[in-house]
Amino acid sequence: MHATHGGTCFVIFLNYNKTFLNYNKTNFMAQTKSSRQHISKSNGKTKQTNGNSGLEKFFEDALKDIYWAEKHLVKALGKMNKAATTEELKSAIEDHRTQTEEHVSRLEQVFEILGKRAQGKKCEAMEGLTKEADEVVEETEDGSVTRDVGIIVSAQKVEHYEIAAYGSLTQIAKMMGQDEIGEILSQTLEEEKQTDKNLTEIAENNINWEAEHEPADESD
């Protein structure tokens, strides 16, 4: 009886250990799954921002920068349009000026989604690029195709800056889980890329060739 009782205790002990181990395994797997879901939400589309992290503050600051830049560019494009020589370039600049006004409106929508007031912070880069465009106009002959070449170069420098800015902001927004904002910024990014492509086509189709065969300005 004693041996049997001891055997029974041993079996009960083994069964208890097996049950305990199974419980721990199940609990561990549940915790792991929960952790993975948490990580997925943090890296995916469901994470919500609270505006308190350093990255979120940087993002908001960068939005203010590009907001100022776009509003400043609306005025600068108007000046480029008046200075341009060919109707093809004038039309392209005017189309992008209208598009830039839409970009300003989209940024205001982004600020609204974030629950922030739309406000700009002076963008030194855009100010420098548009100032350089003014200098190009001053240094080229009025009515010349060479001036158009210079305006296209200046405008594409602006586009490349905006492509870099919107590309980075789009990725940051998506990383923070702000998918709606990411989609808005991505739309503007694609339009900036298309504008850059359009300017290249205008230059390569006619303007560069005409400028090459244009007599030099000897007024200097």
The answer to whether residues 173 and 88 belong to one domain is: yes
Residue 58 maps to a domain: yes
What is the 8-class DSSP label of residue 120?
A: -
What is the structure's pLDDT at 220? Answer: 52
Q: Considering its fold, how many domains does the chain have in total?
A: 2
What is the structure's pLDDT at 115? Answer: 96
Give me 111's structure tokens. 């600020």
Q: Residues 8-54: pLDDT tens digits?
A: 433 333 344 444 344 444 444 444 444 334 333 344 443 445 556 89
Residue 40 maps to a domain: no
Report field, pTM of the whole predicted structure over 0.85: no
The answer to whether residues 79 and 2 belong to one domain is: no
Q: Residues 151-194: pLDDT tens digits?
A: 999 999 999 999 999 999 999 999 999 999 999 999 999 999 99
Residue 47 maps to a domain: no
The answer to whether residues 175 and 83 belong to one domain is: yes
CA 84 remoteness from chain centre: 29
CATH number at residue 90: 1.20.1260.10
Residue 131 maps to a domain: yes
Residue 220 maps to a domain: no
Q: Residues 119-153: pLDDT tens digits?
A: 999 999 999 999 999 999 999 999 999 999 999 99
Residue 169 maps to a domain: yes
CA angle 112, 117, 122 (to 5 degrees): 120
The answer to whether residues 169 and 74 belong to one domain is: yes
The answer to whether residues 101 and 21 belong to one domain is: no
The answer to whether residues 91 and 187 belong to one domain is: yes
Residue 207 clears pLDDT 60, i.e. is over it: yes
What is the structure's pLDDT at 215? Answer: 82
Structural domain of 25: 1-31
Residue 112 maps to a domain: yes
Q: With contact defined as beta carbons under 8 Å apart, do 176 and 46 qualify?
A: no
The answer to whether residues 22 and 61 belong to one domain is: no
Average pLDDT over residues 96-118: 97
The answer to whether residues 83 and 27 belong to one domain is: no
Residue 95 clears pLDDT 90, i.e. is over it: yes
Which residues, other chains included, contact 40 with Cβ-Cβ below 8 Å and sequence gap of 6+? Answer: none
The answer to whether residues 133 and 188 belong to one domain is: yes
Residue 78 maps to a domain: yes
The beta strand positions in 93-219, using DSSP E, are none
The answer to whether residues 90 and 181 belong to one domain is: yes
